[in-house]
Structure 1
Amino acid sequence: MGYQLKNEQLIVDIAEQGHYRGTRFDWSGFITGVTLRQGNHSFCVPESPTPGLGTGGEGLCNEFGIADPIGYEETQPGEMFPKLGVGLLTRGDEAAYQFYKQYPVVPFRQEVIQDSASELSYTIYPQECRGYAARLEKRVRLEDHRLIIDYNLHNEGSKTISTTEYNHNFLGMDQRGIGPGYTLKFPFELEPEVDEEGSMDHMLFQGREIHWSGRQESWFYFRLRGAAQAYKPQGWIWDLFHSESRAGVREISTYTVDSIAVWGEKHVISPEIFIRLHVAPGEIYSWSRVYEFYKA
Structure 2
Amino acid sequence: MKFPRKKWIPLAIAVFLSINCSFADTSYPTAVLSNNHLKAVVYLPDVEKGYYRNSRFDWSSMISSVQYRGHRYFGDCSLPGPTPDMTDRASGFAEEFKTPLGYDSAAPGDSFLKIGAGIFKRIDGASYDFSRQYPLTKPAIWSVTKGDDWIRFESEAAIPPYSYRYVRKVYLDGATIVIDHTLQNTGQADISNRHYSHNFIIVDGMPVGKTYSVEFNFHMLTGNKRKDIVKLDDNRLDFIRALVNGDFVNVNPAGIADACDNTSAMVFNTDKNAGVIVNAKFPVSHYLLHINEKAICPEPFFNINLKPESSTSWQTRYIFFTGIPPVFGKKEIDHNSKTGLASISIDGAEMEEFITTKRSYNIVLLAGRDSIPKIDASVLSDNFSFSVKQAASLNGKAIISLSSPNSKETVDYVLNFVKSAVAAVTASVDSGNSPLNTLDKDLMTSWAAEGDGRWIMFDFGELKSFTGIGIAWFAGDKRKSRFDIEISHDGKNWTRIFSGESSGTTSEIEPLLFNGKKKARFIRITGHGNDMGKWNNIAETVFYQE
* TM-score normalized by the length of structure 2: 0.50
Is residue 164 of structure 1 aligned with residue 194 of structure 2?
yes
In structure 1, what is the Cα distance between the partners aligned to 2:62 and 2:230? 30
User: In 2 relative to 1, CA 17–232 (structure 1 residues): closer, same or farther, beyond 3 Å?
Assistant: closer
- 1:101 matched to 2:132? The reply is yes
- CA deviation after TM superposition for structure 1 residue 117, in Å: 0.4
The answer to whether the aligner puts 1:222 opposite 2:250 as a matched pair is yes
CA distance in 2, matches of 1:152, 1:203: 37
C-alpha separation between the residues in 1 aligned to 2:212 and 2:273? 10
Show the 5 A alignment for 1:233-248: 233-234=261-262, 236-248=263-275
Map of 2:313 onto structure 1: 286
Equivalent residue, structure 1, for 2:282: 255
Q: Select between 168-177 and 9-18 the one with higher mean Cα deviation.
A: 9-18
- Which of 150, 172, 185 is residue 215 of structure 2 equivalent to? 185
Q: What's the counterpart of residue 56 of structure 2?
A: 24
2:92 alignment counterpart: 59
Change (3 A) 1:230 1:28: same
Is the Cα–Cα contact under 8 Å of residues 64 and 166 in structure 1 kept in the other structure?
yes
* Moved >6 Å (runs of 4+): none
Name the count of aligned residue pairs.
286
For the residue of structure 2 that corresponds to 1:174, the secondary structure is: coil
Determine the structure 1 residue equivalent to 2:163. 133
**Whole-Å Cα distance in 1 between the matches of residues 124 and 105 of structure 2?**
13
Name the counterpart of 1:11.
39
Counterparts of 1:26 and 1:181, CA distance in 2: 31
Render the CA deviation track for 1:125-156: whole Å, top value 9, x for unaligned.
232x1300001111110000110111111110
Please tell me whether the aligned partners of residues 266 and 278 of structure 2 are also in contact (alpha carbons under 8 angstroms): yes
Return the index of the structure with the highest Cα Rg. 2
In structure 2, the gaps of 5 or more residues are 1-22, 24-29, 324-546
Cα distance in 2, alignment partners of residues 134 and 193 from structure 1: 39
Distance in structure 1 (CA, Å) of the matches to 2:177 and 2:133: 30
Query: Which residue is equivalent to 1:71?
Result: 102
Matched, 1:89 2:89: no
Contact 2:79 2:89 in 1 (8 A): no
Task: State yes or no: 1:272 paired with 2:299.
Answer: yes
Counterpart of 1:243, as a letter, is: T
Mark the runs of 5 or more structure 1 residues left unpaired by the alignment. none
Shifted more, 147-156 versus 23-32: the winner is 23-32
Shift of 1:251: 1.6
Please tell me whether the aligned partners of residues 277 and 320 of structure 2 are also in contact (alpha carbons under 8 angstroms).
Answer: yes
Identity of aligned residues (%): 25
- The match for 2:67 is 35
- The alpha carbon displacement at 1:193 in A equals 6.1
Instruction: Name the CA shift for 1:193/1:155 in 2 (closer, same or farther; >3 Å).
Output: farther
User: Residues of 1 paired with 2:127 and 2:261: CA distance?
Assistant: 35
Shift, 1:275, TM fit? 0.5
Structural RMSD (CA): 1.9
Higher mean C-alpha displacement, 239-248 vs 73-82? 73-82
Q: What is the Cα deviation at residue 284 of structure 1?
A: 1.2
Mean Cα deviation higher: 204-213 or 25-34:
25-34
Which structure would you say has the larger RCO, counting Cα contacts within 8 Å and 6 or more residues apart?
Answer: 1
Determine the C-alpha separation between the residues in 1 that align with 2:61 and 2:254: 31
Shift of 1:59: 1.2
Shift of 1:220: 1.9
* Equivalent in the alignment of 1:205: 232
Aligned-pair CA distance for 1:47: 2.5
- Which stretch has the larger CA shift, 184-193 or 170-179? 184-193
What are the within-5 Å matches in structure 2 for residues 137-156 of structure 1? 137-156=167-186
Aligned partner letter, 2:32:
Q
- CA offsets per residue over residues 251-282 of structure 1, 9 Å max, x none? 22320001111222112111111100111100
Q: For residue 49 of structure 1, report the CA deviation from its aligned partner.
A: 5.0
Q: Please name the residue that 1:45 is paired with.
A: 75
Deviation of the 1:60 alpha carbon: 1.4
Report the CA distance shift for 1:227/1:220 in structure 2 as closer, same or farther (over 3 A). Answer: farther
Distance 1:62 1:124 in 2: 14
